[in-house]
Structure 1
């Protein structure tokens, strides 16, 4: 078990944890305002239409009311912005996780369940355990390494379990089905219409999707250089998905930044250095 433990708790720079934390919590705010503002409309939906997910029945969680929905919305806006600063990481971290978790239960308990939130929810829970971290701090942290690792595992599980679900419910015939064709008819773009005209290309694409998802765990065993190339491929896959059938995996893409050396990206430091090099104007 020792090699597994070393892998799970492989230390990372605190600066990487701080950057990841800022990205994740700022996305919470962006998600409320841009990606899932429609959840607020559930405040006016009759309570009998609320069919909570299993976890919502086990806890149990309350039926959404206008006070509950709007209260969570505004509380998440405030705590998400506060958590992005890195202050009180455990208190604010667990608060944001609990509020966003309930926000997702409210969002997904009316018939449609998105699987692009799994890695992001794991990231919120894991960050609450990571402790303090400052941008630019090169000190290594095992707690932060664990938080990033479990997020990475959740990201890869999203792919692998998606393939498992396809084969479980659709069988091997899923590969030769008309899944992508139906998606293009429902929400396809002009680019998708062009692709659909190429014989057998959609079938090859479905085969490629299943193979990609089944092989995604290999990202953990390849060398670092190839790992970054693999993550670039993951991002490219979602760019193509959005460009063809307009399906956004935004929270999943945010969680996937756990694979990246985020401590190297320091826009504030870059801006300071950039303006410091700008010569001051001289008097005539």
Structure 2
């Protein structure tokens, strides 16, 4: 079990995942959750903190507190995306984003699509330093990615468990998707809704795929990527029909992908004609040279006492 949890991965994958997650945190503040800043103007008596907010305890949000968290988190997330000071900046971003989410979810609505992202922020500081393009494998980085993957799959499995626990079998045969389409459906969703019993079949399919999601850990690497691709396609359909993105969950799910192969800066240098040496190739060059270079000729000293001529 411990070998599976700490399966080594390339440091370049950890570096790419770290950059992506921290850039998403910055984007989340200004694109997906800027509405959290409006909580500062809500009367304090409406603030009902989550259990963790009551245990710590955390202060009631004020305009000053929310503004400090917003600007500090935005700056630190951008700095952390560079990979510098991974532990110091990583723990700071984790703490600030957790408080940001506690403020967001303490007014009656809790989103379950942020579990994987919060776990990723909690474990990335433990992965240590990692450089883009570095093929050296790391167990610490492997553990960070694996724990994030487990959180992502738990999001699916526990969502199905909640559906059956609170909705029972009526969730499968009821009008859940129909109500969602009425509330926030698209033209594409309206076309689907016209097909008899298709929404009921879709509800059975959703619960089945969520309950079977842990199977992804039992598949070979190639089929695992195919199943993750299916997960992403499911969310594409969700966005196209009821306009729910699950963006934080999608960001955390990149922990399954070989992100070390994604090198946007290197590709940009190639397109502009200013290609520099790839760090991974430079590191490997001396080893390759030693394996492929011809062996040097060694002068043989004449044997004493042996005639030189025939």
Structure 2 residue corresponding to 1:74, chosen from 71, 75, 82: 71
1:95 lines up with 2:92 in the alignment: yes
Deviations 1:34-74 (A, max 9, x none): 00000000011110000001111111111111111111000
- Measured in 2, the distance between the counterparts of 1:130 and 1:225 equals 25
Q: Which residue of 1 aligns with 2:145?
A: 148
Deviations 1:8-44 (A, max 9, x none): 0001000000000000000011000000000000011
- CA drift at 1:173: 1.8
Cα RMSD after superposing both structures: 1.0
- CA drift at 1:149: 0.2
- CA drift at 1:277: 8.2
- Measured in 1, the distance between the counterparts of 2:120 and 2:82 equals 16
CA 1:149–1:65 in structure 2 vs 1: closer, same or farther (change >3 Å)?
Answer: same
Q: Could you say which structure has the larger radius of gyration?
A: 2
1:197 lines up with 2:200 in the alignment: no
- Measured in 1, the distance between the counterparts of 2:114 and 2:104 equals 11
- CA drift at 1:218: 0.2
Report how many residues are paired.
Answer: 275
TM-score by length of 1: 0.95
Q: How does 1:245-284 map to 2 (within 5 A)?
A: 245-276=242-273
- Measured in 2, the distance between the counterparts of 1:118 and 1:61 equals 20
- Measured in 2, the distance between the counterparts of 1:24 and 1:149 equals 15
Q: Which residue of 2 aligns with 1:229?
A: 226
- Measured in 1, the distance between the counterparts of 2:18 and 2:211 equals 29
- CA drift at 1:273: 2.2
Q: Which residue of 2 aligns with 1:135?
A: 132
Q: How does 1:148-167 map to 2 (within 5 A)?
A: 148-167=145-164
Q: Which residue of 2 aligns with 1:39?
A: 36
- CA drift at 1:274: 2.8
Structure 2 residue corresponding to 1:188, chosen from 173, 185, 190: 185
- CA drift at 1:91: 0.3
Q: Which residue of 1 aligns with 2:290?
A: none
- Measured in 1, the distance between the counterparts of 2:274 and 2:151 equals 42
In structure 2, the gaps of 5 or more residues are 276-310
- Measured in 1, the distance between the counterparts of 2:271 and 2:78 equals 27
- CA drift at 1:207: 0.2
- Measured in 1, the distance between the counterparts of 2:44 and 2:270 equals 55
TM-score by length of 2: 0.88
In structure 1, the gaps of 5 or more residues are 279-284
Helix, strand or coil: the match of 1:167?
Answer: helix
- CA drift at 1:275: 2.6
1:84 lines up with 2:81 in the alignment: yes
